[in-house]
Amino acid sequence: MGFSQSAPKPYGALPTAAQLEWHEMEMYALIHFGVDTYTDKEWGFGDEDPKILNPVKFDARQIVAAAKAAGFKGVVVVAKHHDGLCIWPTKTTEHNISNTPWKDGKGDMLQEYREACDALGMKLGVYVSPWDRNSPHYGTPKYLEIYREQLREVYSNYGKLFISWHDGANGGDGYYGGANETRKIDRTTYYDWPNTWAITRKMQPGAVIFGDVGPDVRWVGNEEGHAGETSWATYTPMAPDAGQTPANGYVLHLRGIEGTRNGKYWMPAEADVSLRPGWFYHASQNQQVKSPSTLMDLYYKSVGRGANLDLGLSPNRDGLLDSTDVNALKGFGALLQETFRTNLAKGATLKASNVRGGSAGKFGPANLLDADRYSYWSTDDAVHTPTLTITLPEERTFNVVRLRENIKLGQRIEAVEIEVLGNGQWQKLAGATSIGANRLIRLAEPVTAKQLRLMISKSPVSIALSDFGLYLEPKRQQAAPIAAQKDASLSKGGWKVINSSAADAQHAIDGNPATIWSSASTDVFKPVNLDVDLGFPLEFSAFSYLPRQDKQVTGIADQYSFQISTDGKTFLEVATGEFSNIRANPIEQVIKLKEKVQARYIRFVGKRSLDGKGISIAELGLRK
């Protein structure tokens, strides 16, 4: 056999066996349940009493089955969030499931998820938060010992795991065993990640490790569920400050959206987003569950761009997914099945402008239509931009094109164009970049054609294309308006800002999310008040804060005080706290008051902002 008939030389960084299995999963779910479910928060402070956690109807199988019905291949269980409560009976801290009323302190949620996954043929992963706002030892070397022992416990007692999941939320204020203080760490050194990851490699060699800097799977850089239109599986993480070492929580995260062409590592993107606006269950978000069509849009923008989709699921206080959530997942799964059940390219005649070594059996285009993700059409080393002509048995109607590369040989193809033959002439239909593990090209309208042409327009080396598919997505339905949510918001007619440290204060209450009020920027941050006259006394049970929606963090409040008054002079504080996770997930924050109140005047106090230079508000609102 000549050299030209041997497999092409691999290009660039390559995936490991564990990463290949991860790519083949395409979708999994991230399950958040804990004390935050009962406190109506996204991040617990660490001082929560474990006795509030008692999900009397908890059913791991119901939750995992709902994920499976949507087409997910596994679940990642939040075994410990930032509040520090472990949902397994750990020996490392008393702050665990054993000290809750659930099953009289004899339960083990993580074990029940393991059993549910085994029964349903699903994979299991875990997230043990590095940041622990409960532990008195956080910030000291002793805590690192505790954290690593927690990892060893979940790695050794709950079977084979497909992923060990970590995030960048590290250090800040917390309970810390009663200290009630702020603790900062050096994110590049405190967790000694190389030696911490070594525990994973030794105890769970088949698991990929996820984090801002991988090392196996990277955060895509947003919590909106989408990768870049161009998204490379290779990546070179960079620190915000030149010359420094990037780490979880200390990385130029927006670079994760597209990755790095010819990056140092094979580190594909995970696109994470929650089924609801928040990651934990909040009754106020029951009318904001994403529809099947919205989930389908996210599928194209994540899986369809070579990333994996990680969808957040939020069991309620009973320990079950709400029926609305279950139905959304079921509908999404049905939509996926209906779309991708039949490859309309089956039976086509494929003619390639070049086949590697003339070996049609080994490297010919027929490999594009089999079920093997790693059989492939390849070209001679000198041929980088070949053409493939596809002739269908008859005219067929489609609106989705699927392409895949044999990524065992690296991510090679940089751009393609697709044409259809109409009225005797070739007409451009679509184009795409960064093919990789999966590229779905979603057309604006269905196209009926018998003959197509795929042109590889840019590749630095010979190609290794493994899949060509044509599919018909059913007609998209418009999602029903969220009437209940809108009805709950009180009208702002007659509202007026009566004090402000900067101009354009009405932007904070004008009903337009695109307009922003910003206080004066100062080198030393001072709390900022915004007082509003409602015109006449109103009764309400919650207030809302919408951070700016322009992808900037300037002035976004992450600590607040909310106060009310009957005369505009004397104000009473009725809520104070933090907007947890608002940097990564800048959605509307709805804060439920302890009881319904009546007032004519309200005061929003921005006590701290993400950048420490002032406060900005896109919208303030009240709920009935």
CA proximity to 371, closest of 401, 399, 392, 343? 343
- Domain 489-623: CATH architecture, name and number where available: Sandwich (2.60)
User: What CA–CA distance (Å, rounded) separates 251 from 265?
Assistant: 15
pLDDT for res 478? 56
Residue 362, SS3 per DSSP = helix
Q: Are the beta carbons of 379 and 356 closer than 8 angstroms?
A: yes
User: What CA–CA distance (Å, rounded) separates 579 from 582?
Assistant: 6
Burial (CB < 10 A; 0-12, 13-18, 19+), residue 570, is exposed
What are the structure tokens assigned to 110, written together?
Answer: 């993580």
User: What CA–CA distance (Å, rounded) separates 305 from 232?
Assistant: 9
Phi, psi of 201 (to 5 degrees): -60, -40
Phi, psi of 155 (to 5 degrees): -70, -30
- Per-10-residue mean pLDDT of the chain, 624 residues long, equals 73 99 99 98 97 98 99 99 99 99 98 99 99 98 99 99 95 96 96 98 99 98 97 98 95 97 99 98 96 98 99 99 98 98 98 96 97 98 99 98 99 99 95 98 97 99 99 76 56 90 84 90 81 94 95 92 95 94 91 93 94 92 94
Residue 45, SS3 per DSSP = coil
Alpha helices in 158-277 (DSSP H): 193-203
Tracing tokens 């630095």 back to the chain, one arrives at 460
Taking each helix axis from N to C terminus, what angle separates 323-340 and 292-302, rounded to the nearest 10 degrees? 60
Q: Are the beta carbons of 313 and 55 closer than 8 angstroms?
A: no
Start-end ranges of CATH 2.60.120.260 in the chain? 343-471, 489-623
**CATH class of the domain defined by 343-471:** mainly beta
Amino acid at 185: I
Cα 132 to Cα 95, 144, 198: the distances in Å are: 11, 11, 21
β-bridge partners, 128: 80
Q: Tell me the CB-side half-sphere exposure of residue 606, using CA atoms within 13 A.
A: 31
Give 29-340's CATH code, choosing from 3.30.200.20, 3.40.50.2300, 3.20.20.80, 3.40.50.970: 3.20.20.80
CA proximity to 21, closest of 437, 510, 402? 437
Phi, psi of 584 (to 5 degrees): -80, -30
Tracing tokens 């004519």 back to the chain, one arrives at 600
The shares of helix, strand and coil residues in the chain, as percent rounded to the nearest 5, are: 25, 30, 45
**E strands within 283-434?**
308-313, 349-352, 377-378, 387-405, 415-422, 425-433
User: What CA–CA distance (Å, rounded) separates 257 from 227?
Assistant: 5
pLDDT for res 434? 98
Q: Are the beta carbons of 447 and 429 closer than 8 angstroms?
A: yes
